[in-house]
Amino acid sequence: MLVKSIEDALRLVLTWAGRADLPVPPRLDPPGLPSGLASVVSVSDALGVGAFTPNASPLLTTQDRILRPDVMRTDKDGYTTFIVENQGAFSLGFRSDDPDRLFLSGDWYTVPDCPVPTGWRSLPMLPEEALILTVLTNGFMGLTGRLKTRDEPDFDSVPADCGIQVWRHDAMGALWPGFWTDADRSRLYYGGMGMTLLL
């Protein structure tokens, strides 16, 4: 996979947004917060208004929402939400005493049409991996308004001209293709969306 860290994901989105000149800062997360969160906030703020959406925080709010530390709230059971799905179907959270473990509240991609358990439960993904997924998703969705796109014949088949895997995670389901590109990095396919970005 091309993306192995949140820094890799941020650099990929910056390149596609035409802002490879913007630096990805070193990790300076305060204790008790997910690793990489401060870098995501910093890069999103640096992209600013007009990067690919009309809002001032393109990587935090374009599709799913990444919360800034100053607006996060810890519930009575010690869980802190830091990512919210765009329709509120699920929230992803952590505990300050274990910030490298990811928790889920609500529905999830791999269990459609099943009763949704109440409360928080562990998800086999790291908080940094959840940030990678959300940054790639928000970057992809934001760039669809600026770049050409190609609709694919189905949602889950990787196009033949996108043979290099960018990122995927088993927690999204064994059949989820993930993100793919080509050798020239001129295409970016998002599995499950049935769409490819074209530079």
CB atoms within 10 A of CB 136: 23
Q: Is the pLDDT of residue 139 over 70?
A: yes
Instruction: Determine the pLDDT at residue 111.
Output: 60
Instruction: Determine the pLDDT at residue 12.
Output: 97
90: enclosing H helix or E strand: strand 90-95
Strands 195-198 vs 148-151: parallel, antiparallel or unpaired: antiparallel
Percent of the chain with pLDDT over 90: 80
With CA atoms as reference, report the closest residue to 182 among 195, 165, 167, 168: 165
pLDDT (tens digit, 9 = 90+) per residue, 39-94? 999 999 999 887 876 667 889 999 999 999 999 999 999 999 999 999 999 999 99
What pLDDT band is residue 112 in, cutting at 50, 70 and 90? low
Q: Is the pLDDT of residue 16 over 70?
A: yes
Q: Is the pLDDT of residue 141 over 70?
A: yes
Q: Is the pLDDT of residue 129 over 90?
A: yes
